[in-house]
Amino acid sequence: MQQVGKILAHIVDQALIEKMEENYQKIKQNLWLGKDEECLEKVGKFVEITVRIIQQLTSGEYTPFKEELKISNTLKSFEQLPKDKFPESIRIMIPRVLYTLYTFRSKRGGAHVRGIDPNHIDAAYVVSACDWVMAELVRLYYTDDEKEVLQVINSMVDKKVPLLEEFEGDIKILDTNLSVPDKILVILYKRYPNYVSTDDLKRWIKTKHPTHINTTLKRLDDKGLIYRKNNNNKLTRRGINYVENKIQSEVW
């Protein structure tokens, strides 16, 4: 994301870049952790930020964050931009993708077909669409070495392996390179704000010495990363920050 920000820095306000980076990263991280609803909750903000970026790219100015931004009207107005001055992606393609994303800014209402929750497939689409929008902006406005920029684009759109997956209430760690402490913290992050029993952690985290889980939990507790209550464990605020700023940034 630092590379993306550097590529766009010559044409996009730094405040917009910082907000875009933070929001985009959160969307992708939530998908990797199986937090589909949280992923969908962030997409509205991504649309608002990107609309402001297009405003700046096409007019030199953008709607201040303290002012209301009329998303639908603004997206439609981009289609009226001069064809000889702005590429089709800026006038048509990106705005239409953003419009579809904006429909996911809140959870779907009504009953789900046959009880199937659409959040996961919605989140998968949202992340792919955000990847495309980001990659397209980089492709259009890069000024650096073409090979390096292509690597940045590919790194955004290449499929990433999630950290974990849930099966009927059980959790399986998919990233086998994670240490035992990090596996514990990721599981607790996934289940936050609920507690997770030590017995469940021992079942989900495969180790030759299950007692090692107890020792690790004590160390995490001593560091203030988790809170322990009898046989149950829960992340602290410090633990949440560690997962979001340390574990996820390394996987990224």
**Containing structural domain, residue 9:** 2-157
Q: Specify the pTM.
A: 0.71
pLDDT at 181: 94
49 and 114 part of one domain: yes
- Give the C-alpha separation, 35 to 221, whole Å: 24
pLDDT at 155: 75
149 and 184 part of one domain: no
179 and 151 part of one domain: no
138 and 196 part of one domain: no
134 and 11 part of one domain: yes
* Cβ atoms of 151 and 6 closer than 8 Å: no
Q: Which residues of the chain have pLDDT under 50?
A: 109-112, 252
Q: In CATH, what number is assigned to the domain containing residue 136?
A: 1.20.120
150 and 102 part of one domain: yes
96 and 192 part of one domain: no
Six-digit token pair at 61?
Answer: 């100015």
- Give the C-alpha separation, 50 to 56, whole Å: 10
Angle (CA) 48-74-86 rounded to 5° is 100
pLDDT at 250: 58
Instruction: Give the chain's domain count.
Output: 2
Look at residues 133, 157, 181 and tell me which one is the last residue of a structural domain.
157
145 and 171 part of one domain: no
Query: Which string of DSSP letters, residue by residue, matches 17-69?
Result: HHHHHHHHHHHHHHHHTT-HHHHHHHHHHHHHHHHHHHHHHHHS----TTS--
The sign one gets for the Cα dihedral 240, 246, 251, 252 is positive
pLDDT at 110: 44
pLDDT at 252: 47
245 and 180 part of one domain: yes
Q: How far is CA 81 from the centre of its chain?
A: 31
Closest-CA residue to 214 (of 235, 224, 228): 228
Digit-coded pLDDT (tens) for 116-132: 678 888 888 999 999 99
